[in-house]
A and B are shown apart, each in its own frame.
Chain A
Amino acid sequence: MSYLRVSLVIVCWGCAASFYAQPDAERALQTRFVLAEDGDTLELPAGRIELTNTLWLDGKRDILVRGAGIDRTILSFRSQKQGAEGIKITHAANIVLEGFTLENSRGDLLKAQEVHGLTLRDIKAQWTGKPRKTNGSYALYPVQCRRVSIQRCTAIGASDAGIYVGQSDSVWVRECLAYHNVAGIEIENTTNAWVWNNTVYDNSGGILVFDLPDLPKKQGGRVLVWKNKVLHNNHKNFAPKGNIVAKVPPGTGVMILAARAVEVTENAILDNRTVSTAIVSYYITQLPLQDKEYVPYPADIYVHDNTYSANKRMPTWRHRLGLLLWLKFGRRLPHILYDGIADENHPPARICLKRNINGSFANVDAARGFKNISTNATLHDCTLPLLPRPE
């Protein structure tokens, strides 16, 4: 009780301080971002700053944006009127952001587009309150970037993906925390990504590696998912329909969709109720496909040395895949699932599984209406060259 009282006092002290300082604080910050010169350090003061418009850094080099620390500097976009993002960084090089909390923007919390050399460190990006579909899409969202490092960041409450890296190259995501998002971490149409030592829990899907059609950057690949804790990602899927993640069944640990050269290893993938590791083609989404250059099948997927939970699971009933698995397997669900959709005109998919603790398997034969579901993994008893480890 006394704890509650103390925190109330602290919260209200924060409010009072921000109310009179607000317009000036925003103005100063906006001006600072607009007029920043190459090589500048932009210090974000401690305290809560309410912003009504996107903070935008464009066309700059070698900028450090530094706050007083997570939950010490809070940039709140609760009353945002303009701009779809909280912070936006475009056409820039060597940008480092660290030490602050970003919250409650109308669209994405932090979007970086065409940035070469982006470091996000010790940032908490969140939508507060219960996870809901009116929350913005992505908490941390680098797209079309090169050399991205996301470290010790926390993403909470995104109605799409907490940490979403799209159409980028050379990406590190490590020591991050993602929960209460639809997808915890999503790597999409991205090449050379290392996702390691993250903890991803209570999302609808933990870690997604997707290749999607109709995009300027066609194909991702060489994605290492290593030493992560992917735990009980059983949250209801609250993504607005129409989005690809709205199709992810609640209770998904790791999902690889139409991606190639993906290695999933030494992860603890525990208590995800529906499917621990899914390897599927784009056709599983039942969306029409018109992009002729796009390859809709996963290939060169190596899942090995992961730990899965031993206990029985009850899959979600909110998704047809969950229902189907339940009808077929009851509570003895296979952990690793392959949709079995392949094309004879394409080279063999090469999906290899090795030494996974409790790593039961099923090919659900989705191409033929789930008729010949097989739990025989001998076809996938193979190895693939290991991807390089991060330094």
Chain B
Amino acid sequence: MQPYMTALCRSCPDRNKLAAVFILLLSSILTAFSLREVPFKPEERLSAYGFFLGPLANLQPAENVFSYEVNAPLFSDYAEKARFVALPQGKRMRFRLGEPFDLPEGSVIIKNFFYYHDFRRPEEGRRLVETRLLVREADTWKALTYVWNAEQTDAFLEVAGAEIPLTWIDNTGKRQRLSYQVPNLNQCKGCHATKGQLVPIGLTAEQTHRKVSGASQLERWMTEGLLEGVTAAELAAVTPLADYDDPTSSLESRARAYLHANCAHCHHPHGSANTSGLFLEITQTDPLRLGVLKPPVAAGRGSGNRKYSITPGKPSESILLYRMEQNDPGIRMPELGRQLAHREGIELIRQWILQMAS
């Protein structure tokens, strides 16, 4: 200690400066310690987390941040999504079947919502609207949402929700307009809740087991040390959800994947819509639970004067389809995250109901 202090003293003229350096050192050590103990504190700006390198809007992932894709995305008003996971240094996700992967404390799932100016020409650029974070704390998840500024330089924490006017040209060349609704923080849980606890939805084996740039996404994660707790045999046993946009998959698998991704986060025995008795998860096999000839329970005017959730062979007499088609907030399904009707999804479910034997 002694020689160290004298050495410092030689280079600095007065003792005050030494004290200042000392305090600085001490406080940085204290800060380092307190960072470990204080629970996650939300940043006001997205950029402050350091998830991305360079200009934020490029979404160029930093070290320990990696992108992922899902088989059957949730429809949210035609928004495109760029998904990432940030893992703490040296930590891994743990594989689980039938529920989302277990992520270590400090992990963050990052989902960026954006619209291409022209969906026919993505290279002409995009407008980032919102970035949602799911943050893994000791034994819970926390949801946060950041709204991008018009200049696309940063996104800012939003608690109460917001409305953002948007316009784009869709893939048929038609101009679309939308007052985009950013959910308030409680509404995150409207979808992300199982047994009342906030949980991720998309990071499951069924959703992420897919080819990305020609290679298996999950195998890559295993070799890169991002995912543990799974053998090659277990991986081979995973039945991935179908890509519901892929016409080469069977109608049944596409329709069920669509319902799983868009409805089952609530319409699940442990989800918030379990009051309805309509369960649409991919593993459901009981036709009644899936809505076949099932009368509604508390649908109110959501029934659209139709008698059953699904009337086989008769899409126009099926409540499920009616609620997908409607845009009234008291009728539409899903309740949250959708204002526009999903034409392609509606067509898929229509075909599915149509071909059911009556």
Contacts and interface: CB of A to CB of B under 8 A. Distances in A.
A54 interface: yes
B301 A133 contact: yes
A72 to B, nearest CB: 24
A106 B185 contact: no
A252 to B, nearest CB: 19
A90 B181 CA distance: 21
A167 B296 CA distance: 15
Contact of B277 (A27, A108, A141, A215): A215
Residue among B179, B299, B300, B328 having the largest count of chain A Cβ atoms under 10 Å: B300
A56 interface: yes
Interface string A59-73: 100000000000000
Interface stretch (A31-39, A299-307, A350-358, A368-376): A31-39
Interface in B286-311: 288, 293-308
Contacts, number: 144
B330 interface: yes
Contacts of A138: 298, 300
Interface string A103-138: 001111000011000000000000000000111111
A240 B161 contact: no
A242 to B, nearest CB: 3
Interface stretch (B98-106, B214-222, B267-275): B267-275
A83 B305 contact: no
B300 A107 contact: yes
Interface string B234-260: 000000000000000000000000000
Contact of B303 (A58, A82, A83, A241): A241
Contacts of B277: 214-216
Interface residues of A, number: 54
A57 interface: yes
Contacts of B330: 84, 105-107, 136-137
Nearest to A82: B181
A30 interface: yes
Interface string A155-169: 000011000101100
B312 to A, nearest CB: 12
Interface stretch (A229-237, A262-270, A285-293, A377-385): A285-293
B301 A53 contact: no
Given A113-B272, A214-B288, A215-B275, A27 B160 contact: yes
A80 interface: yes
A244 interface: yes
Residue among A113, A166, A290 having the largest count of chain B Cβ atoms under 10 Å: A290
A91 interface: yes
Given A81-B179, A216-B269, A240 B303 contact: yes
Given A30-B161, A106-B328, A167 B186 contact: no
B336 A83 contact: yes
Contact of B293 (A30, A137, A240, A288): A288
Interface in A306-332: none
Nearest to A29: B160
B298 A214 contact: no
B269 A137 contact: no
Interface string A32-58: 011100000000000000001110111
B187 A83 contact: yes
A258 interface: no
A53 B161 contact: yes
Contact of A56 (B187, B293, B298, B302): B187
A108 B288 CA distance: 26
B329 interface: yes
Given A54-B187, A59-B196, A90-B189, A242 B275 contact: no
Contact of A159 (B269, B275, B300, B328): B300
B173 to A, nearest CB: 27
Q: Is the interface of B mostly helix, strand, loop or mixed?
A: loop
Given A30-B160, A136-B301, A106 B329 contact: yes
B26 interface: no
Contacts of A212: 297
B354 to A, nearest CB: 20
Contacts of B307: 241-242, 287
Residue among B161, B186, B196, B304 having the largest count of chain A Cβ atoms under 10 Å: B186
B159 A31 contact: yes
B184 A34 contact: yes
A326 to B, nearest CB: 26
A133 to B, nearest CB: 6
Nearest to B338: A82
Nearest to B160: A30
A96 B272 CA distance: 22
Contact of A136 (B193, B288, B295, B300): B300
B296 A242 contact: yes
Nearest to B183: A82
Residue among B184, B272, B319 having the largest count of chain A Cβ atoms under 10 Å: B184
Contact of A216 (B179, B185, B275, B308): B275
Nearest to A114: B196
Contacts of B196: 59, 90-91, 114
Contact of B329 (A27, A35, A107, A114): A107
A214 B329 contact: no
Given A240-B300, A290-B293, A59 B275 contact: no
Contacts of B331: 106-107
A175 B298 CA distance: 25
Given A56-B184, A81-B179, A290-B288, A243 B275 contact: no
B179 A137 contact: no
Given A31-B160, A57-B186, A215 B329 contact: no
B170 interface: no
Contacts of B293: 288, 290
A243 B160 contact: no
B306 A242 contact: yes
Residue among A58, A113, A133 having the largest count of chain B Cβ atoms under 10 Å: A58
A31 B303 CA distance: 33
B300 A160 contact: yes
22 contacts: A34-B159, A34-B185, A35-B159, A59-B196, A81-B179, A81-B181, A83-B335, A91-B193, A105-B330, A107-B300, A137-B302, A138-B298, A143-B275, A166-B275, A214-B295, A215-B297, A216-B275, A240-B303, A242-B299, A242-B304, A242-B306, A243-B296
The 6 closest A-B pairs by CB, nearest first: A137-B300, A242-B303, A106-B330, A30-B160, A107-B330, A91-B196
